[in-house]
Structure 1
Amino acid sequence: MKRKAKAMGTTQSSDIASRHGEVPSAGPPASLSQESFFPVPLEILEEILLNLPPDQVVCVCRLVCRQWKEVADSESLWRERCRREKYRLRIASKTPEDWRLFYFLCKKRRNLLKNPRAEHKMKNWQVLENGGDKWKIEGVMVPHPNEKVQKNFVTSYGMCKKSQLIDLASEGYNPSFMDHFQPDIKISDWYAPRWDCGSEYEIHVELLNQRKKPIQTFEPETIIFEQWNDQKWNQMTHVFQNYGPGVRYIRFTHGGKDTQFWAGWFGIRVTDSCVEICPAVDT
């Protein structure tokens, strides 16, 4: 079936490219007086571009000539890429204003927390409470479900809490996209006790507005482990949905302590924390 290539504005996604690296930079637009070097039917040209790496389409192909630029910028091209790569809308009525931006945000979905597995000690984390013998980094006591996880943060006999503040705009999620599309925001955290000591685990995640005031909060009850437990890893998950406009930051905070006031590091262990923006339906 033929799809007419429809030119669309790309200022928004080009700005994201230059400022945040989320969408590849398209470079200067082709001159309007430039003749098409390869005059081929639009549906054939679109099929060619659909079979090329998306970065090359944006950074190279759209600079060839005016015809190529129009197809490379077209809504139909990026909408078809989303269909072929199964990036499906969560709500059919909420169509993206910029399908190219939607495509790249889906393709480059990632963990927005830095240093989640303690591989760089306490780097990128703000320590809010450092009780007892303070936070410490250790190797995992029992294997984690994700074999890549080899280290964890461990708490002491006084309350230990740490936090990260995520600036969504600096990560490539501009205000208009967040307000119009309101993608799911998925939270995940792994925690485990020692088998020989009781412990507590806490997590507090906030969606914040421009003034860093809470719009929506996830704060489950404190989880308490008794002494002589199985010391296995547990996962805490939550998905923020339909949170309304205005979300500009995410503050992730977690921690805990031991319950028996033992000197050293017998409190809860945490690692592999994750915050993801999920524009498309998980498949």
Structure 2
Amino acid sequence: MSAAEWKKRCEAEWGMRGSLMPDSVDWKFVCEAKPLGRNLLRNPAPHGLSKDAPPPEPELPEMPSDGPPRFQPDGDFSGWTTSTEVLPYDTSGIPPGAMICALPQYSWFSMEQVVDLKAEGLWEELLDDFQPEIVIQDWYEESQLHKSIYQLHVKLLAADKSTVISEHTVNPTEDLSTYSHTWKEVSHVFSGYGPGVRYVSFLHRLKNKFLNGFFPTLFTGSSVIVKPTKTSY
């Protein structure tokens, strides 16, 4: 197809006209990339789990681990930049002179992706003038390992990757009095964020515990979706 035909195809698919659809854009690339309405994150479920099925019950070890402590869960984390922060032992609440056999050791496992919106097929006029909704979603396991087991920090970044145009942070506190062991949804919609957005930084951290065995907090269904809609100008 010609460049004009590719443009008409995109216009028909998303219902956009005028200055939002300049001839300077590579409409063949945009139409084939299909950047609107699809998940722009790579490998959104590294543990191979689905939010439509309950999280697996933790396996209790028959014997204490005789190896070094573990702080990173199993999974295929390709597409993610990962890091681990081992936390110091929490000895608060232990009376002086008490004999301690073992204490749990906690760690944060961090996973980040930075989405290049233009490389995914979005174009400057759409991002700057129309400012479509950018929808964030994530699901984490209610592992009840600790009162704080999940954190999310999403930033909309300018072309220099350091200027933050908008951001959203989630740091929930868990109710440890009731055991439900379900997936918990986290979501947010960015709208009316202003011009200049070129990247989305998606960073979440999940807490793990080591005590005679390794117990992770799992996640699935992470997504960054740009929708051909907007809620404000």
Match of 2:79 among 124, 133, 137: 124
Alignment of 1:254 onto 2:198:
no
RMSD: 3.4
Unaligned stretches of 5+ in structure 2? 49-74, 88-104
Alignment of 1:113 onto 2:41:
yes
* Secondary structure of residue in 2 paired with 1:276: strand
Q: Do the aligned partners of 2:19 and 2:125 also contact (CA within 8 Å) in 1?
A: no
Aligned residue runs from structure 1 range 70-149, under 5 A: 72=5, 79=11, 81-82=12-13, 87=14, 96-98=20-22, 101=27, 104=31, 109-118=37-46, 119=48, 121-131=76-86
Residue matched to 1:183: 132
Q: Residue by residue, what CA displacement relative to the aligned partner does 1:92-111 show, whole Å, maximum 9, x if unpaired? A: 9x97334995x947686311
Whole-angstrom CA distance in 1 between matches of 2:106 and 2:45: 22
* Secondary structure of residue in 2 paired with 1:179: helix
Aligned sequence identity (%):
28
Q: Do the aligned partners of 2:109 and 2:205 also contact (CA within 8 Å) in 1?
A: yes
Q: Which amino acid aligns with 2:80?
A: W
Q: Residue by residue, what CA displacement relative to the aligned partner does 1:70-113 show, whole Å, maximum 9, x if unpaired? A: 7x3676x764x34xxxx467xx9x97334995x94768631111
Whole-angstrom CA distance in 2 between matches of 1:254 and 1:183: 23
Q: Residue by residue, what CA displacement relative to the aligned partner does 1:117-138 show, whole Å, maximum 9, x if unpaired? A: 1157011111133437xxxxxx
Whole-angstrom CA distance in 1 between matches of 2:119 and 2:178: 45
More helix by share: 1
Aligned residue runs from structure 1 range 227-266, under 5 A: 229-258=179-208, 262=211, 264-266=213-215
Larger radius of gyration: 1
Aligned residue runs from structure 1 range 46-57, under 5 A: none
Whole-angstrom CA distance in 2 between matches of 1:107 and 1:254: 23
Q: Do the aligned partners of 2:35 and 2:120 also contact (CA within 8 Å) in 1?
A: no
Q: How many residues align?
A: 181
- Tell me the CA shift for residue 176 of structure 1: 2.8
Alignment of 1:207 onto 2:156:
yes
Whole-angstrom CA distance in 2 between matches of 1:164 and 1:74: 30
Unaligned stretches of 5+ in structure 1? 1-57, 63-68, 133-155
Q: TM-score, normalised by structure 1?
A: 0.54
Match of 2:146 among 190, 198, 221: 198
Residue matched to 1:269: 218
Q: TM-score, normalised by structure 2?
A: 0.64
Whole-angstrom CA distance in 1 between matches of 2:210 and 2:45: 26
Q: Do the aligned partners of 1:192 and 1:232 also contact (CA within 8 Å) in 2?
A: yes
Segments of 4+ in structure 1 off by > 4 A?
Answer: 98-101, 105-108
